[in-house]
Amino acid sequence: MALLDVKDVTQQFGGLRAVSSFSVALEERELVGLIGPNGAGKTTIFNLVSGFYQPTMGTIRFKDQPTAGLKPNHVTTLGVSRTFQNIRLWNDMTVLDNIRVAHHSQLSYGFFGCSFRSARYRDQEKDITANAMKTLEALDLDQYADEFPKNLPYGTRRKVEIARALSIHPRLLMLDEPAAGLNTADLTGLIDLIGWIHKEFPITIWMIEHQMQVVMSLCQRIQVIDFGATIAEGTPTEIQNNPAVIKAYLGDDTI
Amino acid sequence: MPWGGALLASILQNTLNALQWGSFYSLIALGYCLVYGVLLLINFAHGDVYMVGAYIAFFVATFLLASGGLPGWVVLAVTVPITMVLTAAVGVTLERVAYRPLRRKGAHRLYVVVTALMCGIILENGNLALLGAASRAFPELVTTTVFSLGDVKLTNLKVAVIVVAIGSFLILETIVSRTKIGMAMRALSYDRFALPLMGIPPDTVIVFTFVLGSSFAALAGLLFAMSYPVLDPYMGAMVGWKAFIAAVVGGIGEIRGAFAGGFLLGFVEIMVAAFLPSTFRDLIAFTILLFILWMKPTGLFGVARFQKI
Amino acid sequence: MKNYTKPILAAGLWAMIAWLFLSGRADGYWLVALILWGGGATFAFYGGERAREYGFWVVLGTLSVGAWWLFFQDRRMDSDWILCIHLLLGAMGLVRLFGRAAPAWNAPFLLAVLLFCLVWLSYQESINVYFQSVLMFTGINIIMATSLNLVNGYMGEFNCGHAGPMAVGAYVSSLMTVALFGKSQVFGDPSLSPALALFGFPFCLLVGMAAAAFIGFLISIPSFKTRGDYLAIITIAVSYIIKSTIENMNVIGGARGFMGMGQVTQAMDKAPQVFGLKTSWDLPWMMIWVFLGTVFSVWLLRRFVTSTYGKGIIAICQDEIAAEIMSVNTNRMKIAAFMLSSGLAGLAGGLLAHAIGYVNPSTFNILKSTEALLMVYLGGMGSLSGSVIAAVLFTVLVDALRFIIPILNSALHWAHLIPSSYEVSQVWKWVLIPLLLVVIMRWRPEGLMGNRELTDYFPGLRDYFRFK
Amino acid sequence: MKRYAWLIPVLLLALIGFGPPLAAAEDVIKIGFNIELTGDIPDVGEASKNAAEYLKNQINNAGGFDVGGKKYKLQFIYEDNEAKAESAVSAAQKLITQDEVLAIVGPQASKQAVPAGEAANNLETPMISPWSTNPNTTKDRPYVFRGCFLDPFQGPVVAKFVTEEFKAKKAAVLYDIASDYPKGLAEFFKAAFEQMHGAGSIVAFETFTTKDKDFSAQLTKIVASGAEILFVPQYYNEVPMIIKQAKQLGWTKPIMGADAWAGGDLMGLCGDDCKGHFFPAHYSNVGAKGETKQFIDNYTELYKKTPDDVAALTYDAIGVVLAAIKQAGLTGKVKKDRTAIMEAMGKLKDYPGITGTMTFKPDGDPIKCAVVVKINNEGKFEFYKSVCP
């Protein structure tokens, strides 16, 4: 049984078909890449999986459970977590708070719990903080816990965002162009980091990326889409030599 | 109860009333909309700029009447441009003194909005403090003629107001969509930082926007003063808020939206007062507006700006 | 700055002591006490690190104990003000010395002493009814500003109809108290003994809060889909609808307003008789309720926004999409924020109605909402202490200008700066206040506090109160 | 140093507490004015202040006010209530406890007078509202008085007048629902008129909201309703617009006003349109004699406008307070004096005011006549008929 099972999903925005009958099945502990030219519909697929859009057609099942109609926060609770193409941290909250708030859907105390500081409130806040600090330490970010993300360098912000996504112990981690905007030195660090996460945590990683260096060295399996439809699938080496992929990226020089 | 012909006459009469009343909302809403479209700033002082316009028109007109012995229509013809220029100067001064420094310092948008709100209060009470409490009567520049079409009564002023409102809308629409500076205005609303890179000075565009908005507010103030000839310092406050509501219901930032929203609000208010118990006018009018926003959360003509994730 | 503050403060202190002595306001005992006080302060100003740390507070602590002792012994007071200032300073000293043992109790202890001082001063008529009402309006404005800050500051929405839920809270709680404890044309005789008013009043306020929170719930539903300026319109429209509805309800007075709360607040004085304790105490109960209400509001809001649960709304403000995808249930948080904010506005309204003894729908017009907005943005979006400071500043300024403008007028006339025919009237108040705000905005475009708290600027204050 | 920053406010607080007590001058009579200097109806506040200043200068220039053989200077303290209910309360409290006035004159409009009356009554200070016609202002409040007739009196006066004068059987009303005074008066008029002509004789009962400028929809309805008379119980600044718009929509029948028409510069705003209409007033400034004429002439000369009802009523209200002070005598103890003044005021018989003679009923309302005035062709308010209770 696949962890994430996307079947024939189509997304229509007015007249524009952003994704057309896209299917994928991700197994436990896989590291899969999703590539394609700009505007191919990659981020839309991520948005569909994380529940931000509801697919026009098709089904998405996570842990064998349909996610149709669920709100994004609900999907997160099931164990899907993600990062964003252009970093979306809460800039006026400390790094530690950023990670704590990501635990929001796990909170079981409500408004009255937080106003009366109930026992459950205190326990949970303690657990959350401990867990957040553990994640920060694991990613070597603990010295930034009280900094504001807006004051951090770009590479560190990327890392904080990954930490935020990772901190809630997801089963599926979706990385949307984690290497965008990084310099070469950061890039090597990022490849090591993703590899390390994949090794260290019981987690499936699904990644959109343009940097071939990252994709080729990390992914076990790559799926290529163009105009919302899959055009190729296979191991990195297979993809590298696939004529359809070359055509999609470089254009059709026969015309 | 009016039946048959009487009902028809009543509907026609109220339609005319609504067109006149909606014209004022539209004219003021256009000013809100211009500034909002360019700066994303709700210029809450706009209603009071319009009040200042009415007062300037009053002083210019009384001065001209007193000094020249000119006929009314000449005075009116001279008053219109002078009022527009002077009021535009007030609008631009507000922009220079209050909003621009904040913008330069990168203040949050809502701080500028609240500053605008405060500027409005300053204008209202400054007027009261300097000119005294007495309301003023606007001189009658053009003799009001009442035309009767059966039971429906029409005045020359009413027709003029409606024509001017529609004309202003057409002029503004042309400026914004056809001229070079209009293009710059639209560009500015999309990307404030790219515009200077294209060689267009954004401050010039902003000043032009304020000139445009304030001078049309002045026009509205002048016409308002002619139609409802009692001027008081607080006359702009309520109309200003309601015109803002109209602009938003139309879809703020859209010229067509502001125009349509103004007339819509005028229609709803007048028709509710006319055909339902007038006691519930505000209640029903605002419920209808809420319902419209519920159906179309970005207003009648507004388009939700797509946010890329 | 650093070099001059100490001498100025010390000189001011000694000048005050000298003046108290020379004007015959301090008798023998108090003179000794004051000199000890001044000496301790000077010692602390110029002493070394250790003196600064402890000496000052030790002296004040002793003095305070002395003051308490005197108070219970023979009430030898020359001035209630001296007593109260000593009590406050002494309490601060005690907190400073022993407060680390149980930091959670520091703020409640200080607030209790402050409340005692206020009640004592009003009981002794050292602060008159007018000053008491200014204090009450300050408290009410604090509730109004801080609660609006939750939505406008922390959540980043633009609610400009805060007066709407206030009106609902005011009317519902007033109708309840009058129906239960007062005689009126609408409800006839009281249904409960007026002697119970003291205990029933907070309950009625809670019902008013609940009704106002329901309005908040109604506003929050469109906020799922609608944001920004469109939501602003919805809030304005709701407040108009509320005002208009009340105006149309002739049963409760309509535009004429509703009254009768005065007898209820007077009935509170008789409360001790319920226990068979006949006292002649005439405590300023409304002031006590406003004080408690203010503390309650700030306390509740502070607890809300410092919890991870409440920080969800800050996440919505800073990036709603990220908040939604990263596990915040945005709809539920919006409901919570609007309900809390409106509920507290209802509390402010209920207290206002009882402090004035009269409600009128046009009290809750757009100007009231504008005042609330002014306070929030003057204090800074997302800063509770900023809202508190702004509310205090605003209320005090409004009433201080009553005194300042006539002085200004005569000064300007004396200097021949304005023609003798023109008088600077109270109208200038509403020019000066907004002007001040515009000037402050130019100087600090993020409001007085930005989105930081007082303790961020003055970390020393953490000794007295902590927010977490 | 920041550690001691808190000392600054503490010291300031201390200084306030130790501040010099206000020196109470012996030979001064302090009267407070709680009036609408800003807000919706600033004209009203201005007129009250003018009338008060006029009276004060008159008495002080003559050496002061004589109580029990001793001359006192008058000191008037003007507080602005911003035309807001809560400000009216705090202004009243300030006047009573901070300035320690003997009595308060104002507020003028009922919206402020009702809550301020509560405060004054609780603090046991006599208050007289010159212009508030709402019954609640004085109801069950021994310390609160008023200087004018009430809405329950004025409504029937108007109803009776239009019936007799215009033989009207169907009437229309246009009023501001969000304002206390017009609403109350409209309802009293409706009740009285329907009592005379049966239910349904008010063929149009139309409303608008404060600060509205356009009444065309309501007026269209009124014109179509076949009413013979239009009753407009509005303030002077709304009346011109209503009358103009009514004319433009084809209304040719008479329009009847209320006493608030005379609250400001009606004719300056209205011009020719208002001529020929009637309204009940507290006094008429045309054809006045004696002290009334003297007041009108002096006031007109001083402030370049004719005194309106508010000015005349305020002048009378201060006169009533002073007469009561003279009768009660002064002991120098403020609290005792206030009670004495209140009692003296209640017992005042036939006080000869410029707006007519006044005797207070036990609830603090005066027994007073109303005058129906006609706006004549010169724009003057001409005496037409006097209606007494």
**What domain range is B243 assigned to?**
17-295
DSSP assignment, residue C185? T
**Are the C-beta atoms of residues C136 and C127 closer than 8 Å to each other?**
no
Kindly give the residue spans of alpha helices, DSSP state H, lying in C249-319: 261-267, 285-306, 308-318
Contacts of A105 in chain C (CB under 8 A): 327-329
Please tell me which residue of chain D has the smallest CA distance to B1: D225
**What domain range is C134 assigned to?**
128-366
- The residues pairing with A123 across neighbouring beta strands, listed in sequence order, are none
Average pLDDT over residues D274-300: 82
Q: Could you report the per-residue pLDDT of D235-273, keeping only the tens digit for each? A: 888 888 899 889 888 888 889 988 888 777 788 788 788
In this structure, the number of other CB atoms found within 10 A of the CB of residue B62 comes to 16
Q: Is B223 among the domain residues?
A: yes
Residues 6+ apart with CB under 8 A from B266: B18, B19, B20, B21, B22, B23, B24, B25, B26
Strand, coil or helix: D132 = coil
Contact C318 A91 (CB under 8 A): yes
Question: Rounded to a whole number, what is the distance in Å from the CA of C411 to chain B's nearest CA?
Answer: 18
Element (H, E) at D163: helix D151-166
What is the rounded distance in angstroms from the CA atom of residue B56 to the CA atom of residue C442? 28
Type of residue at A38: N
Highest mean pLDDT among B183-192, B258-267, D80-89, D355-364: B258-267
Token couple for D49 = 């202040």
Residues D271-302, buried b or exposed e (16+ Cβ, 10 A)?
bebbbebbbbbbbbbeebeeebeebbeebeee
ipTM of the complex: 0.87
Q: Given pLDDT bands bounded at 50, 70 and 90, which one contains residue C164?
A: very high
Q: Is C175 among the domain residues?
A: yes
Contact B307 C158 (CB under 8 A): no
How much is the pLDDT for C135?
A: 92
Average pLDDT over residues C177-181: 90
Residue D107 confidence (pLDDT) above 70: yes
Q: Given pLDDT bands bounded at 50, 70 and 90, which one contains residue D22?
A: very low
* Short-list B181, B203, B224, CA closest to B83: B224
Q: Is A21 among the domain residues?
A: yes
How much is the pLDDT for D21?
A: 38
Residue D6 confidence (pLDDT) above 50: no
Question: Rounded to a whole number, what is the distance in Å from the CA of D130 to chain C's nearest CA?
Answer: 18
Contact A76 C318 (CB under 8 A): no
Average pLDDT over residues C2-17: 70
- Summary mean pLDDT of chain D: 83
How much is the pLDDT for D5?
A: 47
Q: Is A107 among the domain residues?
A: yes
Residues 6+ apart with CB under 8 A from D140: D363
* Number of compact structural domains in chain A: 1
Token couple for A133 = 């600090």
Give the residue with greater pLDDT, A80 vs C58: A80
Residue A116 confidence (pLDDT) above 90: no
Contacts of D271 in chain B (CB under 8 A): 137, 140
Element (H, E) at B175: helix B156-178
Element (H, E) at C230: helix C228-248
Q: Is B308 among the domain residues?
A: no
- Hey, of C231, C318, C438, C449, which one would you mutate to test binding to chain B, going by the most B CBs within 10 A of its CB? C438
**Are the C-beta atoms of residues D52 and D95 closer than 8 Å to each other?**
no
Q: What is the CATH number of the domain that holds A76?
A: 3.40.50.300
User: By the CB < 8 Å criterion, does B264 face chain C?
Assistant: no
Q: Given pLDDT bands bounded at 50, 70 and 90, which one contains residue D331?
A: confident
* Chains touching C (3+ CB pairs < 8 Å): A, B, D
**Are the C-beta atoms of residues D93 and D119 closer than 8 Å to each other?**
yes
How much is the pLDDT for D132?
A: 84
Q: Is A6 among the domain residues?
A: no
For D105, phi and psi rounded to 5 degrees?
A: -110, 130
Give the residue with greater pLDDT, C419 vs C245: C245
Q: Is A2 among the domain residues?
A: no
Contact C363 D97 (CB under 8 A): no
Residues 6+ apart with CB under 8 A from D236: D43, D260, D261, D262, D263, D264, D265, D266, D269, D308
Token couple for C468 = 């977490």
Q: Could you report the per-residue pLDDT of C36-45, keeping only the tens digit for each? A: 666 666 666 6
Contacts of B117 in chain C (CB under 8 A): 370, 373-374
Domains, chain D, in order of start with CATH, read 28-148+288-368 (3.40.50.2300), 151-281 (3.40.50.2300)
- The residues pairing with A205 across neighbouring beta strands, listed in sequence order, are A31, A173
How much is the pLDDT for C271?
A: 56
Q: Given pLDDT bands bounded at 50, 70 and 90, which one contains residue C139?
A: very high
How much is the pLDDT for C77?
A: 47
Please tell me which residue of chain C has the smallest CA distance to B277: C248
Q: What is the CATH number of the domain that holds B54?
A: 1.10.3470
Residue C305 confidence (pLDDT) above 50: yes
Cα angle B33, B268, B233 (rounded to 5 degrees) comes to: 60
Residues 6+ apart with CB under 8 A from D145: D126, D127, D128, D129, D138, D320, D345, D346, D360, D364, D365, D366
Strand, coil or helix: C443 = helix
**What domain range is A194 assigned to?**
15-250
Q: What is the CA radius of gyration of chain A?
A: 19
How much is the pLDDT for D18?
A: 41
* Number of compact structural domains in chain C: 1
Q: How many helices (H) and strands (E) does chain D have?
A: 12, 15
Residue C439 confidence (pLDDT) above 50: yes
Q: In chain C, what's the furthest Cα-to-Cα distance?
A: 71
Average pLDDT over residues D150-171: 87
Determine B/A contact with 3+ CB pairs under 8 A as the test: yes
- The residues pairing with D29 across neighbouring beta strands, listed in sequence order, are D74
Please tell me which residue of chain B has the smallest CA distance to D268: B137
**DSSP per-residue string spanning C10-79:** HHHHHHHHHHHHHTT-S-HHHHHHHHHHHHHHHHHHHS-HHIIIIIHHHHHHHHHHHHHHHHHHT---S-
Contacts of A150 in chain B (CB under 8 A): none
How much is the pLDDT for D13?
A: 40
Token couple for D100 = 């320690």
Residue of D2, D4, D13 lying closest to C9 (CB–CB): D4
Q: Is B32 among the domain residues?
A: yes
Q: Given pLDDT bands bounded at 50, 70 and 90, which one contains residue C279?
A: low
What is the percent of chain C where pLDDT is above 90?
Answer: 34
Contact D208 B151 (CB under 8 A): no
Give the residue with greater pLDDT, B164 vs D23: B164
For D145, phi and psi rounded to 5 degrees?
A: -125, 170
Hey, which residues 148-207 in chain C have their CB within 8 Å of chain A? none
Give the residue with greater pLDDT, D24 vs A211: A211
Hey, which residues 47-106 in chain B have their CB within 8 Å of chain C? 98, 101-102, 105-106
Q: Is C406 among the domain residues?
A: no
Edge-to-edge strand list for the sheet holding A229-234: A80-82, A172-176, A204-208, A31-35, A221-226, A229-234
Contacts of A88 in chain B (CB under 8 A): 309
What is the rounded distance in angstroms from the CA atom of residue A250 to the CA atom of residue C199? 80
Q: Is C445 among the domain residues?
A: no
Contact D269 B135 (CB under 8 A): yes
Q: Given pLDDT bands bounded at 50, 70 and 90, which one contains residue C243?
A: very high
Residue C146 confidence (pLDDT) above 90: yes
In this structure, the number of other CB atoms found within 10 A of the CB of residue B192 comes to 15
Pairing of strands A4-13, A57-62: antiparallel
How much is the pLDDT for C295?
A: 95
How much is the pLDDT for D287?
A: 66
Looking at A85-94, C142-151, C293-302, which range is the least confident one? A85-94
Token couple for B124 = 């209202």
Q: Could you report the per-residue pLDDT of A210-255, keeping only the tens digit for each? A: 888 888 888 999 999 888 888 888 888 888 888 888 887 766 655 4
How much is the pLDDT for D156?
A: 87
Average pLDDT over residues D316-341: 89
Residue C357 confidence (pLDDT) above 70: yes
- Hey, of D248, D308, D310, which one would you mutate to test binding to chain B, going by the most B CBs within 10 A of its CB? D248
* Short-list C166, C163, C184, C162, CA closest to C175: C184
Contacts of C229 in chain B (CB under 8 A): 36, 42, 248, 252
- Hey, of B303, B306, B307, B309, which one would you mutate to test binding to chain A, going by the most A CBs within 10 A of its CB? B309
Q: In chain A, what's the furthest Cα-to-Cα distance?
A: 71
**Are the C-beta atoms of residues C136 and C392 closer than 8 Å to each other?**
no
Contacts of D304 in chain C (CB under 8 A): none
User: By the CB < 8 Å criterion, does B309 face chain A?
Assistant: yes
How much is the pLDDT for C3?
A: 63
Q: Is A5 among the domain residues?
A: no
Q: What is the pTM of this model?
A: 0.88
> Tens of pLDDT along chain B (309 residues)?
445 677 888 888 889 889 999 999 999 999 888 888 888 888 899 999 999 999 999 999 999 888 877 888 888 899 999 999 999 999 999 999 989 988 888 888 888 999 999 999 999 999 988 887 777 888 888 887 888 877 788 888 889 999 999 999 999 999 988 888 888 888 888 777 778 888 888 888 899 999 999 999 999 999 999 888 888 888 888 888 889 889 888 888 888 899 999 999 999 988 888 888 878 888 888 888 888 888 888 888 877 666 666
Cis-peptide, bond into residue D107, ω within 30° of zero: yes
Torsion of CA B82, B88, B93, B95, to 10 degrees: 180
Residue of B146, B238, B278 lying closest to D211 (CB–CB): B238
Residue C269 confidence (pLDDT) above 80: no
* Number of compact structural domains in chain B: 1
How much is the pLDDT for A39?
A: 80
Token couple for B19 = 């067109």
- Can you state the angle between helices C366-379 and C429-443, rounded to 10 degrees? 30
What is the rounded distance in angstroms from the CA atom of residue C163 to the CA atom of residue D14? 36
Contacts of A85 in chain B (CB under 8 A): 309
Contacts of C238 in chain B (CB under 8 A): 286, 290
Contacts of D4 in chain C (CB under 8 A): 5-6, 9, 45
What is the rounded distance in angstroms from the CA atom of residue B118 to the CA atom of residue C438? 7
